[in-house]
Amino acid sequence: MKLTFSFLLLLAFLHIGSAQNAKITGKIISENNEAVSYASISIKSPKKNAVSDDKGNFEIANLAAGNYTVYFSAMGFTAEQKNVELHENENLDISITLKENINALQTVEITGRKEKSYRNTKSFIGAKTEIALKDLPQAVSYATKELIADQGAIRVGDVVKNFSGVSQFTFYDDISIRGFRINGGSNTQLLNGMRTSTGFWKQPLANYLERVEVLKGPSSALFGNASPGGVLNRVTKKPLDQAANSVSFSTGSFNTLRALADFTGPLTEDKSLLYRLNLGYENANSFRDLQYDKNIVVAPSLSFLPNDKTSVNFDLIYSSSNGNLDRGQSTYENSLYSTKISNSLNSTNDYLKEETYIVTTSLNHQFSDRLSFSGSYIRTGYNEDLLEHRGANKYASAADGSTIPTAIEMQVFQRKRKRYIDNLSTFFKYEAKTAALGHNLIAGFDYAQEEVPAGGSQLTASGYRNAANNGFIATYNPANKSNYLLDSKGNPVPNVAHFDLSNPFASQQLKDMSKYFYAARQVDPTYYSLYGIYIQDHIKFGAFQALIGIRYDEYSDKVNYKKATETKVKQHSFLPRFGLTYTLNPNINLYGTYVQGYNPQTASTLANPNAGGPFNPLESNMFEFGGKSSWFNEKLFVTVALFKIQQKNTLYPANDPSNPDLMRSIGEEESKGIEIDINGNITRNWSISAAYSYNEAFITESPIEVEIGRQKPNTPRQQGNIWTRYNFTDGALKDFGIAMGSNFATTRTMSQTTTETLPGYTLFNAAFYYNINKFKIQLNANNILNKTYWVGGYDYIRLFPGAPSNWLLTLGYSF
């Protein structure tokens, strides 16, 4: 009896084992016929899970015959389910198409973008909430992390060359958009759509960025005071709901050593808690004398998704930088090519130490299918410790007051200061329908403040020794020659030795800092705040979409902050916005928009106590018309924009010899032109990013007549770029890839009051790739023809040259 029972159990076991040999395989694609990678596939009973690979393929094995419901989901797509009947030993092959979903919960970017191309389909800065780029009635230029990685770029200044109408102004975190300058110290740059700042002097590493994007034109109706040319937004990498890890090591020209790491995935089995950690280390010199960078970046991110209605995000970016402040190349008077582009005015004992942290938290909650809430807070802290030998922005003075064309007058700064910035952004979003009209209503409140606390100070050594040799006089006046200490040739003795352009190595040696006479100056504490109340409606009616909004902004500056004479200055503004989009056909949208902007010009925002003033705020407006189209099954995206921007009350240097920091206000300036941006894929293996712009940016009203009609500083009338990559998937070159690129800019002026110009240039770059399994080898070669060029400059004493021919080798591993 026992033997018979055991035999029956064995037969049952064998029957069950043989019955569980069926499987389900398939492929998941999008409506654009693109593979959906890292999608989740699940069966509830029995509990089975799978994940699609990078080509969208999946497999669920060891299934018994029967009926099943298979569930498919992926971030950014509407979940689907499919009922299937499975027979014994069957290999059932199914395919599923997921529809793209612009989810109402996505008021901010919650989890990471899984798309792996040069194309981006959505914007979060253009409408304060998620909107398809083709539906946004305003131009946006962007570069995805894939494009950034393919080019071997590591800083925003390297990335912006891919954007139409955007160029570097100096070496620093300092760019020009449609002829209007913005920089990292202006507190008008954005991180994930929130107001923040960098240290200005050094561009931070970009390894933690998902993409860099520029919303063109005044954005004050969305974010308050901002530049009329546009606003730059850095979007950080967000956690993914599937494990994906990578490390890379790079070495190359200028003794560059770089190590990067990116880890992400779920921390819990139900994927309610996701994480991402980006790490970066860099130790590199430069083609510029005495310049170096030692950088560390730690950027963790957490996303908590307790249910399908709530999300909580936390992001931290900590960066530490140790290097030198590079004030640019100086040349002989009126002779652009008279010195090497490596020429730097620093001394060996100079340094710049910067430490920055940016902490962001956000909460998003869906109260119902129609009503949701978003709240975000960001805190930025910056600490600067500086010692530099730098030019005094003029040539050295001879005994008779004439200039010495081969010597630069020098000064020394020792400075410590801190800055803190806070920004709170909250809004409600409500979806409604009235008759044939669909509404996406947003009502929100923003608050921001910036403080430079007490304690900042600077020691300055400059000018010429007085006759008693116990101090210095800031400037040399030959009419009062007896007031100065003179050398054997009758020339005034400088407090800080002149920089000899004919013998730069001697001038760059270690200096005895105790030999200088110093003047102490405190860095005045400053404090300003602003708040904005706004309402916006995204209206859909047939083939038309309208984006209408208005914002009330109030700016408050505490003049003479923390002093007995402290007073409060307030400025306020109503800022309208109107845009209209028309869908001509499924592939082409036409649009037009009108926006207004403003930017206060007070002591806090200028960060220049010697600028003069008070000044009226900047006031701007823009008309823009254009079209957006998709090609090759929406793999390639093209934007064409025509624009005209006007701004009043812009500040320019007064060129006062007694106060080089003094500013003056001009009447009006204008920028108008056309821009074209192309991003995406021509075929699955062929990627492209290209841009072109023609821009006339000039002063139209000024008390100085010679300035009128002259192109604005560091704004090329024409500029453009192209970068294209092709991956080989068959034949002898399988697993190899090749990329080529070029960018150009035409002649640029450097100042509104001089005729000095920078020549145009065309650069050529290339890259080679080899991918095998999880390993990647990449070689980037930049400025292949070794072109001498300048990215910007103020004058022939302060030029900012571009890098000569250079290369970078990267080894990467993904797991």
Distance (Å, rounded) from C-alpha 322 to C-alpha 296?
A: 9
The answer to whether position 651 is within a domain reads yes
Measured in degrees and rounded to the nearest 5, phi and psi for residue 583 equal -85, 105
Which stretch of 66-70, 286-290, 325-329, 637-641 has the lowest confidence by average pLDDT? 66-70
Is the predicted pLDDT of residue 14 greater than 80, yes or no? no
- Res. 15: pLDDT tops 50: no
Cβ atoms 226, 196 nearer than 8 A: no
* Comparison of pLDDT for 568 and 226, the residue scoring more: 568
Average pLDDT over residues 759-787: 96
The pLDDT mean for the chain works out to 89
In a domain, 416, yes or no: yes
Q: What are 302-344's pLDDT values in tens digits?
A: 999 998 889 999 999 999 999 999 999 999 988 999 999 999 9
DSSP 261-287: EEEEEESSTTS-EEEEEEEEEEEEE-S
Domain annotation covers residue 479? no
- Give the bridge partners for 391, in sequence order: 410
Task: Tell me, rounded to whole angstroms, the distance of Cα 357 from its chain centroid.
Answer: 16
Sheet holding 22-30, edge to edge: 57-63, 22-30, 91-98
- On whether residue 492 sits in a domain, the answer given is no
Q: Name the least confident of 287-291, 607-611, 763-767.
A: 607-611
Taking residues 20-47, report their average pLDDT: 82
Percent of the chain surpassing pLDDT 70: 93
Q: How far apart are CA 742 and CA 396, in angstroms?
A: 40
Q: Are residues 197 and 51 in the same domain?
A: no
* CB-based contacts of 1, cutoff 8 Å, min separation 6: none
555 and 591, same domain (yes or no): yes
Model pLDDT for residues 117-148, shown as the tens digit of each residue: 899 888 888 888 888 899 999 999 999 999 99
- Same structural domain, 325 and 365: yes
Asked if residue 206 and residue 73 are part of one domain, the reply reads no
Domain at 177, CATH number: 2.170.130.10
Q: 55-94 burial string, b = 16+ CB within 10 Å, else e?
A: ebebebeebeeeebebebbbbbbeebeeebebeeeeebee
CA dihedral 495, 501, 504, 508 (to 10 degrees): 30
Q: Mark whether 190 and 216 lie in a shared domain.
A: yes
In a domain, residue 495? The reply is: no
pLDDT of the residue at 13: 44
Domain encompassing residue 183: 122-233
Tell me how far apart the alpha carbons of residues 350 and 187 are, in angstroms, rounded to a whole number: 27
159 and 306 part of one domain: no
Q: Are residues 209 and 331 in the same domain?
A: no
The residue from 192, 214, 233 where one domain ends is: 233
Please count the structural domains in the chain. Answer: 3
Q: Give the pLDDT of residue 702.
A: 79
Encode pLDDT of 516-543 as tens digits: 999 999 888 989 999 999 999 999 999 9
- Position 798 confidence tier, pLDDT thresholds 50, 70, 90: very high
pLDDT tens digits for range 747-759: 999 887 778 899 9
Q: Is the pTM of this model over 0.95?
A: no
Residue 480: per-residue pLDDT: 94
In a domain, 30, yes or no: yes
Instruction: Count CA atoms within 13 Å of residue 478 on its CB side.
Output: 10
701 within 8 A of 731, measured Cβ to Cβ: no
- CA–CA separation, 440 vs 128, rounded Å? 11
Q: Which CA distances in Å does 129 have to 222, 373, 402, 439, 722?
A: 11, 11, 60, 13, 30
- Choosing from 233, 249, 278, the residue where a domain stops is 233
Asked if the peptide bond before residue 614 counts as cis, ω within 30 degrees of 0, the response is yes
Last residue of a domain, one of 55, 82, 98: 98
Instruction: Please name which of 801, 712, 687, 782 lies closest in space to residue 743, comparing C-alpha atoms.
Output: 782
CATH number assigned to the domain comprising residue 360: 2.40.170.20
Residues 215 and 285 in one domain: no
Confidence of residue 105 (pLDDT cuts 50, 70, 90): very low
For 634-657, the pLDDT digits (tens) are 889 999 999 999 998 887 777 676
Do 86 and 128 lie in a common domain?
Answer: no
CA dist 32 to 506, 630, 677, 724, Å? 63, 11, 21, 21
- CATH code of 72's domain: 2.60.40.10
- pLDDT (0 to 100) of residue 271: 87
Q: Are residues 593 and 706 in the same domain?
A: yes
Q: Cα(592)–Cα(137) distance, rounded to whole angstroms?
A: 6
Q: What is the residue-wise DSSP string for 335-396?
A: -TTSS-TT-----TT-EEEEEEEEEEEEEEEESSSSEEEEEEEEEEEEEEEEEEEEEEEEEE
Predicted pLDDT of residue 187? 60
Task: Judge whether residue 2 has pLDDT over 60.
Answer: no
pLDDT by residue (tens digit) across 648-706?
A: 888 777 767 667 677 777 778 999 999 999 999 999 899 999 999 999 999 888 777 77
Residues 87 and 226 in one domain: no
Q: Which of 259, 256, 276 is nearest to 267 (CA)?
A: 276
Calculate Rg over the CA atoms of the chain.
Answer: 30
Q: Which of these ranges, 62-76, 184-198, 429-443, has the smallest mean pLDDT?
A: 184-198
392 and 532 together in one domain:
yes
- CA-based nearest residue to 335, from 239, 432, 405, 426: 405
Residue at 787 is within a domain: yes
Q: Is residue 106 part of a domain?
A: no
Mean pLDDT of all residues in 469-473: 95
